[in-house]
Amino acid sequence: MADATARVRHFFAERNVHVEIQTFDASVHTAQQAAQALRTEVRNIVKSLVFEADSQPVLVLCSGDRRVDTARLATLCAARQVRQASAERTKSVTGYSIGGVPPVAHATTLPIFMDQELLTCEVVYAAAGTARTLFAIAPQALRDASGARVVNVSEA
């Protein structure tokens, strides 16, 4: 198991939250690929996206079938400018490459916003540190474990 996935597993074990990490033969780095591999709806896939709000990194957990509304995110962060972080910046602040960024266990402490749409799902699936690993979790358990602030930050 990759070191990245081990960090995710350790994060949950420390909090007594059981998650089963699945490893796939093919990449599941997009929400569509993950949903197809799991035979579930794209809305059940968690996208963990890093943005920069006035150059400060923030993580947004968004449903796979929605887009982050950067104007709303700017308001939530009291920022003048919000843009999606580059692949290099994402890796430096989270410790993971795009396509495998989990919602937890990051290299640096980040403010985490969780879109309220995720709470309408019974179970959500998120990356577990690599582009070939996913774990299932109840959205409320993900919110609690990650310390995410639930907000309305997406658009269809």
- Phi/psi at 115 (nearest 5 deg)? -65, 135
Q: 46, 60 in Cβ contact below 8 A?
A: no
* ∠ Cα 120 125 127 (to 5°): 140
Count of domains for the chain = 1
Side by side, the strands of the sheet bearing 21-23 are 21-23, 133-137, 124-127
| Model pLDDT for residues 91-101, shown as the tens digit of each residue | 999 999 999 99
In total, the chain counts a number of residues equal to: 156
Q: 126, 103 in Cβ contact below 8 A?
A: yes
The CATH number for 105's domain is 3.90.960.10
| Model pLDDT for residues 81-94, shown as the tens digit of each residue | 999 999 999 999 99
* ∠ Cα 52 103 51 (to 5°): 10
Average of pLDDT values for 50-75?
Answer: 97
pTM of the model: 0.95
| Model pLDDT for residues 1-24, shown as the tens digit of each residue | 469 999 999 999 999 999 999 999
- Residue 156: the pLDDT is 77
| Model pLDDT for residues 30-46, shown as the tens digit of each residue | 999 999 999 999 999 99
Q: 106, 126 in Cβ contact below 8 A?
A: no
Cβ neighbours of 137 (radius 10 Å) = 23
Q: Which residue segment(s) compose the domain that 116 sits in? A: 3-155
Q: Quick one: which of 74, 19, 33, 75 has its CA closest to 84? A: 74
| Model pLDDT for residues 94-150, shown as the tens digit of each residue | 999 999 999 999 999 999 999 999 999 999 999 999 999 999 999 999 999 999 999
H-run or E-run covering 118: none
- Residue 2: the pLDDT is 60
